[in-house]
Amino acid sequence: MVDDASRLWTRRRVLGATGGLLTAGAWMPPVLAAAAPPSSPQVKLPGTFAKTERERPGPPNPQPESERVGWAVVGLGHLSLEEILPAFGQSKRSKLVALVSGDRAKAQAIAKQYGVSDKGLYDYTSFDQLKDNPEVQAVYIVLPNSMHAEFTVRAAQAGKHIFCEKPMANTPAECQQMIDACKKADRKLGIAYRLQYEPHHRAVIQMARNKELGTLKLFTANNGQNQGEPNQWRHKKSLAGGGALPDVGIYCLSAARYFSGEEPTEVQGFSYSTPNDPRFKEVEESFAFHLSFPSGFQAHCTSSYSTHETKDLRLMGTDGWAAMDPGFSYNGLRLRVGMKSKSFPKADDTVERGFSQPSQFAREMDHFSRCVQENVVPHTPGEEGLADVRIIEALYRSAQDGKAVKLEAAKKLEAFRGPPPKEEG
């Protein structure tokens, strides 16, 4: 509940910011949301459609620039330039204030495009001077996998909160070092599992928890792409840690864990590389794996660096299934659900559930910004990243030894995740 004074304050501020436009004509005054804090004006418009129509998310209600969390993006490669920087345009709580790159000319060009000032430009050596820049509260690490640990530790020592790309690191020991450094500096650590914030994936998680699919039995998933240039860092073991498994297979592994909420207790992996293919001298081309969970739930997944883009998944329970194809891409996700018809017991219902598809990157960054602003544990903290890297290590061991590897049982469901993300629109 908000008191009358702050309601009035919010109203004045909204009217001030819009030059009174919201009441012009006064045919339908906007409703000011009761829960809005005084500093964040929230506007809700009256409905247009009947209750039978899909609910719309409403206006995005972004926070004013001055209240948003300031981010530094570290590493200006494909993911940063093609997805993350554009996503700031859709974010509501996050703003880009600094860039870290080894290439000054590129950083300057990008800074111009996104309105980052010269004092917000750093390289990998001057990175530690971020500690003197109070505009930067969060650092997003988008570097090759082997560099995640070093830059997380340095960012924590500079007093910044850290959001780090997947896979969290190349070894469980590095992951633990990152967790410890953030704990010591009292900074938040989040791992960028974009799909754990995505509406279709959230819907399947909710269906699974509500037992809409009955008892979960099986999960299958495939994530593959055909790799080019043999000399890129993804094909160097020291930089990437491995090939298809930690880069794209991790999405299948992670989904099996978050759809079931369980942790696997036995895993088996199978690795393959075509002899003499220059791309796969150091890292594997394809990795298939099987995960067994305590309830009896089984996951069977494949990942590949030599198949045309393939990104599908299927979660099967006693009473229904949920399938996505594509299921792991940045946009265009399609979710179908199949179960016995509620209206026609002699029929199966297969429905397509279409949710809005906001930028997955804006959504995960805004979640992390909210965690910083409200002092909440991120939904995908360092421990969640460590859990995947531990399983990846066990899978490689299994593939090498040609037998299944047993893992310690988790003490509870959702063992490593923070509270579920609030809807971010």
> Under the rule (CB under 6 A), what is the footprint of ligand NAD?
75-80, 102, 142-145, 165-166, 192, 194, 233, 239, 247
Strand partners, 190: 163, 381
For the chain, the first-to-last Cα distance in angstroms comes to 21
Please name the helix (run of DSSP H) or strand (run of DSSP E) that holds residue 203, with its range, or none.
helix 199-209
Supply 358's token pair. 């906001």
Catalytic residue among 95, 160, 166, 188: 166
Query: Is 251 labeled as catalytic in the residue annotation?
Result: yes
Strand partners, 161: 138
Question: How near is the Cβ of 146 to ligand NAD at its closest, in Å?
Answer: 8
d(CA 221, CA 350): 20
Q: Which is nearer to ligand NAD, 198 or 424 (CB)?
A: 198
Question: How near is the Cβ of 245 to ligand NAD at its closest, in Å?
Answer: 12
d(CA 261, CA 413): 5
Residues 6+ apart with CB under 8 A from 398: 267, 268, 269, 289, 404, 405
Question: How near is the Cβ of 261 to ligand NAD at its closest, in Å?
Answer: 22
Catalytic residue among 251, 258, 305, 396: 251
d(CA 349, CA 322): 12
Question: How near is the Cβ of 106 to ligand NAD at its closest, in Å?
Answer: 8
Question: How near is the Cβ of 142 to ligand NAD at its closest, in Å?
Answer: 5
Question: How near is the Cβ of 86 to ligand NAD at its closest, in Å?
Answer: 14
Residue 211: CB atoms within 10 Å? 13
Q: Which is nearer to ligand NAD, 247 or 262 (CB)?
A: 247
The answer to whether residues 407 and 293 touch, using CB atoms and an 8 Å cutoff, is no
Helix 382-401 vs helix 250-260: crossing angle, to nearest 10: 120
d(CA 259, CA 209): 8
Question: How near is the Cβ of 101 to ligand NAD at its closest, in Å?
Answer: 6
Residues 6+ apart with CB under 8 A from 9: 38
Q: Which is nearer to ligand NAD, 89 or 102 (CB)?
A: 102
Distances (CA, A) of 217 to 268, 285, 367: 18, 29, 31
CA nearest neighbour of 326 among 335, 318, 315: 335
CA nearest neighbour of 333 among 218, 251, 253, 210: 251
The residue number whose beta carbon is nearest to ligand NAD equals: 77
**Type of residue at 186:** D
Residues 6+ apart with CB under 8 A from 180: none
Q: What is the DSSP letter of 30?
A: P
Distances (CA, A) of 310 to 84, 327, 385: 23, 9, 24
Question: How near is the Cβ of 349 to ligand NAD at its closest, in Å?
Answer: 32
Q: Which is nearer to ligand NAD, 262 or 384 (CB)?
A: 384
d(CA 30, CA 45): 5
Q: Which is nearer to ligand NAD, 209 or 237 (CB)?
A: 237
Q: Which is nearer to ligand NAD, 80 or 260 (CB)?
A: 80
Q: Which is nearer to ligand NAD, 249 or 418 (CB)?
A: 249
Q: Which is nearer to ligand NAD, 187 or 194 (CB)?
A: 194
Query: Is 166 labeled as catalytic in the residue annotation?
Result: yes
Strand partners, 270: 288
Looking at the annotation, which residues are catalytic? 166, 251
